[in-house]
Amino acid sequence: MLTSSTTAFVWNEVQNYTLTSALRVNASAPGTYNSGASLMNSFISAGTTISSHYIHFDSPASASGAIQGRVRFDQKIIGVIVTNVAGQRDLDDSDYLGAPTFFTSGVNARGMEMLNDSFTISASGLVLDFSMTISTPGDYIRVITIPGASTLSLAGAGLLAAARRRR
């Protein structure tokens, strides 16, 4: 399992995938989302071709951690999925876009709790900034973009981890 209290891991999931049913997302417009009330549920229509990307920040054991990061995409962000609460399991329901056996299903706080967490979709729709504070479970974000050739670059370290530790 990928755990670190100082590093968020980012990877591409399915690319150039045509949705067979509508996909619920919690944010789709540029702006800052910093509370549960700021999230807006909308849908990406069946038949839309998408690419999916995952941001994973989970600490070992019950250690806490805080992080800020930025991911720049080559193609426009059309949806962000961060909720997994009783009655609305958007991360669980979208796990088919990644490696479903990798994720823990049925955990209410699996996404972002939006208490000390936030994310911003830039005005251009190409950049996602995030700020997360975790204990157990961690915080997770699924980003949906229009498909493109090269889909993400990370601010900071480069490889598959981008993070700035909050002090």
- DSSP assignment string, 58-69: --STT--EEEEE
Contact between 121 and 31 under an 8 Å Cβ cutoff? The reply is yes
Task: Supply the pTM of this predicted model.
Answer: 0.85
158-164: list long-range contacts, CB under 8 Å, 24+ apart.
Answer: 160/9, 160/10, 160/11, 161/7, 161/8, 161/9, 161/10, 162/8, 162/10, 162/69, 162/70, 162/71, 163/6, 163/7, 163/8, 163/57, 163/67, 163/68, 163/69, 164/67, 164/68, 164/69
Q: Tokens 């993070």 appear where?
A: 163
Task: Put residue 61 in one of left, alpha, beta given phi > 0 → left and psi -120 to 50 → alpha.
Answer: left
- The answer to whether 141 and 55 have CB atoms below 8 angstroms apart is yes
Per-residue pLDDT of the chain (167 residues; tens, 9 = 90+): 677 878 889 999 999 999 999 999 999 999 999 988 889 889 999 999 999 999 988 877 777 888 999 999 999 999 999 988 777 889 989 999 987 666 666 666 778 888 889 999 999 999 999 999 887 678 899 999 999 754 454 443 333 444 444 43
Residue ranges of domains in the chain: 9-165
pLDDT computed for residue 86 by the predictor: 73
Question: Could you tell me if 136 and 64 are in contact, meaning their C-beta atoms sit under 8 angstroms apart?
Answer: no
DSSP state of 101: G
pLDDT value for 112: 86
